[in-house]
Amino acid sequence: MGVNDELPIYLDHNATTPVAEEVLEAMLPYLRGGFGNPSSGHAYGRRAHEAVETARTQVAEAIGARAHEIVFTSGGTEANNMVVRGVAEKSRGHHAILSTVEHPSVAGPLSRLEREGWSIDRLAVDENGRVRVDQLDLGPETALVSVMLANNETGTIQPIRRVAEATRGTSALVHTDAAQALGKIPVSVDDLGVDLLTLVGHKAYAPKGVGALYVRDTVVLEPLLVGGGQESARRPGTENVPYIVAMGAACALVTAHLDEEAARQRGLRDALFEGLLARIPGVSRNAPRELALPNTLSVRFPGVRGSALLAAAPSIAASTGSACHEGAESASAVLLAMGLAADVALGTVRFSVGRGTSARDVAVSVDALVGAYDEARSVA
């Protein structure tokens, strides 16, 4: 993940993370001899079942939950759809609230409910990307409030506890998508006050294809799928034992020494920004450092498009917030919701460091990005 002759420096950990060696070692036995079906009563099945339950405990411990409140899924998209559809099927109300900066796996199913007759409110954010909690409009029909814990593009951490406090005394359930938060900041379901919380393995050094949903034990969701009785009949289908084991191992890994690793990554992030600021006048953050995830730096580069900058810096792997449709580039909806003009938003690049990022990676990246900026400016 560092500097080498073949691959660029990886500064895109919010998109996905490499599988940690410790996680790979934990899951490999269940791709070999531990292949049993957890529902089988013989020794092979018992071994697989015990592995799943150990992982369930590891995930629960990472967020201060109880093991029986954890449901394993194929990832964050499934977990978020389980929340929206599961609440919709059980609720008597037909009103839901989400923020304007939610992930499509939350916004999409809520938009579908809107087409089916639900009333959906989209909570505005301020210039830092934080939801305006004072604008929450709850009523007797409100069934769900969903606000992500940390934004994947800007790193902005949301005031979820305040959101939860605002719902007290109502029948609304509170959900937070914590995909980007796990392993970067402390995550406690009781401190946050949420009823439902989504976790994603591949954002935290597990493989792609596994996630988990926390469901407070007082909450009953209608299953998204029907079939077998796995996951206490909440998510049918034979369990993906190796990946579930990986999810548990990843949770144990990223929450061990969390404060120290967060401080290290915060230092790298800030060194990257200070290095850019010293050599490129006018660069600016999209979210203040104190409100953002310790690993995430969303930067506006004046006078160039982020896509052009990265094209001129092939030794750096990072992301823009823009999307390309039939050759036309459009600005990030998240940045537009924060009040940025489209041309300014198009100058954004998101850098996200991780456990494998070194100080040398950052120093080399600054040099490469400064050179790329000069090149992109010359042809702009």
| Residue 250's CATH number | 3.40.640.10
**Residues constituting the chain:** 380
- Our count of domains for the chain comes to 2
**Which residues, including other chains, have CB under 8 Å from residue 374's CB and lie 6 or more apart?**
none
Structural domain contains residue 1: no
Coil, strand or helix at 341: coil
- The answer as to whether 86 is a domain residue is yes
Is 243 within 8 Å of 201 (Cβ atoms)?
yes
Last residue of a domain, which of 255, 271, 298?
A: 255
Residues 6+ apart with CB under 8 A from 2: 9, 356, 357, 358, 360, 361
Structural domain of 149:
21-255
SS3 111: helix
* 3 state DSSP class of 43: helix
- State whether 345 and 322 are in the same domain: yes
Contact between 39 and 45 under an 8 Å Cβ cutoff? The reply is yes
324 is catalytic: yes
**Residue ranges, the chain, pLDDT below 50:** 1, 3-4, 324-326
Asked which of 228, 255, 282 is the last residue of a domain, the reply is 255
CB 299 within 8 A of CB 272: no
pTM over 0.85: yes
Strands (E) across 90-210 are located at 95-99, 119-123, 142-146, 173-177, 196-200
Boundary of a domain, candidates 255, 281, 296: 255
pLDDT, one tens digit per residue, over 198-212 is 999 999 999 999 999
Do 250 and 262 lie in one domain? The reply is: no
Strands (E), 91-217: 95-99, 119-123, 142-146, 173-177, 196-200, 211-215
Tell me, yes or no, whether 240 and 286 share the same domain. Answer: no
Q: Which of 7, 256, 311, 324 is catalytic?
A: 324
- Beta-carbon neighbour count of residue 244 at 10 Å? 28
Tokens matching residue 206: 């597990």
Q: For residues 326 and 6, give the distance between their C-alpha atoms in angstroms, rounded to a whole number.
A: 31
Among 147, 142, 84, residue whose Cα is nearest residue 113: 84
DSSP code of residue 7: S
Confidence at residue 325, expressed as pLDDT on a 0 to 100 scale: 44
pLDDT reported for residue 213 = 98
Q: Confirm whether 130 is domain-assigned.
A: yes
